[in-house]
Amino acid sequence: MSENVKESGKYESFVGEKEELPEEASLADFLSEEDLDDGESKVFWEKHWKGMPEYKQEENPAYHQIKISFRTEEDYKEFAKLVDQNLTIKTKSIWHPKLDRVANSLMRWIED
């Protein structure tokens, strides 16, 4: 069953529009002259940040980090069992105890 959802806000659709940029592009290449710092005390993005909710990112650094080396694949697999985490050859870091990603993934900004 398919339902149509009515748009609750206006937005600019740039579908199908593509601007050719130099191979090495910087943030300034995506902004207009008026977006760039004009010497005022405000940073350029503050001009566009109107009506948005206040948000402060809490610092949550790790207590301590260690680098662990394994002599064999068996040692690596044994360690994965000890910490009860799924480690692959591509795993670069983990949290202990295991980080619960689902808890925060359910948080969403919803507007009436």
Token representation of residue 107 = 């948080």
Residue 52 has pLDDT above 70, yes or no: yes
Residue 78, domain member (yes or no): yes
25 domain residue, yes or no:
no
Which domain covers residue 100, as residue numbers? 68-106
Gyration radius of the chain's alpha carbons: 23
Report the chain's mean pLDDT, rounded to a whole number. Answer: 77
- Look at 4 and 71; give whichever has higher pLDDT: 71
Q: Which two tokens stand for residue 1?
A: 């069953």
pLDDT at residue 71 above 80? Answer: yes
**What pLDDT digit, counting tens, does each position of 83-105 carry?**
999 999 999 999 998 888 777 77
Domain count, the chain: 1
Q: For residue 41, name the pLDDT band (cuts at 50, 70, 90).
A: very low
pLDDT at 29 over 70: no
Q: Is residue 6 part of a domain?
A: no
Instruction: For residue 9, tell me if it sits in a domain.
Output: no
**What DSSP assignment string belongs to the chain?**
--------S-----TT------SS--GGGGS-GGGS--SSSS-HHHHH--SPPP--PPP---S-------SSHHHHHHHHHHTT----TT-----SSPP-HHHHHT------
Asked if residue 87 is part of any domain, the answer here is yes
Q: Is the pTM of this model over 0.85?
A: no
C-alpha to C-alpha distance for 112 and 102, rounded to whole angstroms: 24
User: Would 81 be classed as within a structural domain?
Assistant: yes
Does a structural domain hold residue 94? yes
Q: Hey, how many other C-beta atoms are within 10 angstroms of the C-beta on 87?
A: 14
Residue 73 counted as domain residue: yes
